[in-house]
Structure 1
Amino acid sequence: MSGPVLVIELAEAVPRAAIQRLRDLLVRSSARFEEKRVGEYDLNIHAESLGISETEGVDGRRPVLVSVMGPGIGDESIFEAEHADKVDQEPLIGFTPTHAVNVAAFCNRPVDHVVTALLTAAVMDAIGGVVNAELRGDQVPMVASLPGVNATTTGPWPAAYGSAEFLRAWAQQPGFRLLR
């Protein structure tokens, strides 16, 4: 994937009712919707459905993959690999993640960074969780002052943990860009 990625950390498996809310949200927001398995969706998101009107002259349909992962849902080995070298997250977010949702854009234009952040916030509204956003070192002071931030780390891999409110506030900052 060549675009930005955000991870929503979850304290437990996503209940079927929440999976259905997630699916409904993605169907409503998408020009193209493919369910690869329960909890994994290959999409073309309508940027306008997220309130994004400026798409830099590119097609407003942005390719994104949303994938719920962890024991009992799928991509367990990816979940384990992504969490193997993470710092102990319990002191930062109040729990040790058992599941996660990756929101990954397939393009890397500025609009794709905003789409990724706002789509992740909408997914969090549907299923809960805490976003884990990797940062550049120089982003930490600015991000730490935003509403909805639970915690930040500085190194060796700077990150911010926060709510949907945090993502929406960050996406409005001048020059907003996700690390990856």
Structure 2
Amino acid sequence: MSGPVLVIELAEAIPRPVIQRLRDLLVRSSARFDEKRVGEYDLNIHAESLGISDTGGVDGRRPVLVSVLGPGIGDESIFDAEHADEVDQEPFIGFTPTHAVDVVAFCNRPVDHVVTVLLTAAVMDMVGGVVNVELGEDQLPIVADLPGVIATVTDPWPAAYGSAEFLRAWAQQPGFRLLK
């Protein structure tokens, strides 16, 4: 079963030295690490490396894919497909994304939602960018006033744009769960 997905929108390509630092972070935080290509990492992240002690009784090694997308790095067609249905993001985030980082969980337990959001925040600490989070309509009021929220939108679907601070604050909310 697939789990939640978050997308970090970027205004430009990630410099190679930053990608190397990201790789090093993921290697240190993982029980299993497979580099598919530069910028694409299939791993089992240690939940405790993100400060998560309650795994809900499941193994703390959670399967995740972290993938840098866009011109010059790879998976350009996936980047284009992901952004084909998006509204013009520049009015909301101040730029039109040219690259992105996808963080994809391969399981859908509550711990996987927390791992996904905290791993995404850690990646953002390295690469910058703005996270694009699809929401349920009932989640808009919950996230609207959290620190680090840049914008919320309802069309074509409910979403929030924000910083790593926003993700960390949201993960602390009662009943936190990402929309798949």
Pairs within 5 Å for 1:1-180: 2-180=2-180
1:24-74 residue CA offsets vs partner (Å, 9 max, x unmatched): 110111000000000000000000000000001100000000000000000
Deviation at 1:128, TM superposition (A): 0.6
Q: Report the AA paired with residue 78 of structure 2.
A: I
Q: Report the AA paired with residue 126 of structure 1.
A: M
Normalising by structure 2, report the TM-score. 0.99
For the residues of structure 2 that align with 1:133 and 1:28, how far apart are their CA atoms?
26
Q: What value does the CA root-mean-square deviation take over the aligned residues?
A: 0.7
Runs of at least 5 residues in structure 1 that lack an aligned partner in the other structure:
none
Identity, in percent, stands at 86
For the residues of structure 2 that align with 1:141 and 1:95, how far apart are their CA atoms?
25
Runs of at least 5 residues in structure 2 that lack an aligned partner in the other structure:
none
For the residues of structure 2 that align with 1:23 and 1:156, how far apart are their CA atoms?
34
The total of aligned residue pairs comes to 180
Deviation at 1:156, TM superposition (A): 2.8
Q: Which runs of 4+ in 1 moved over 2 A?
A: none
Assess if the C-alpha contact under 8 Å between 2:69 and 2:75 holds in 1.
Answer: yes
Q: Report the AA paired with residue 159 of structure 2.
A: A
Q: Report the AA paired with residue 53 of structure 1.
A: S
Q: Report the AA paired with residue 118 of structure 1.
A: L
Deviation at 1:144, TM superposition (A): 0.7
1:55-114 residue CA offsets vs partner (Å, 9 max, x unmatched): 011000000000000000000000001001101000000000000000000000000000
What SS does the aligned partner of 2:42 have?
strand
Deviation at 1:142, TM superposition (A): 1.1
1:134-157 residue CA offsets vs partner (Å, 9 max, x unmatched): 000110111011000000001331
For the residues of structure 1 that align with 2:94 and 2:156, how far apart are their CA atoms?
21
For the residues of structure 2 that align with 1:7 and 1:21, how far apart are their CA atoms?
19
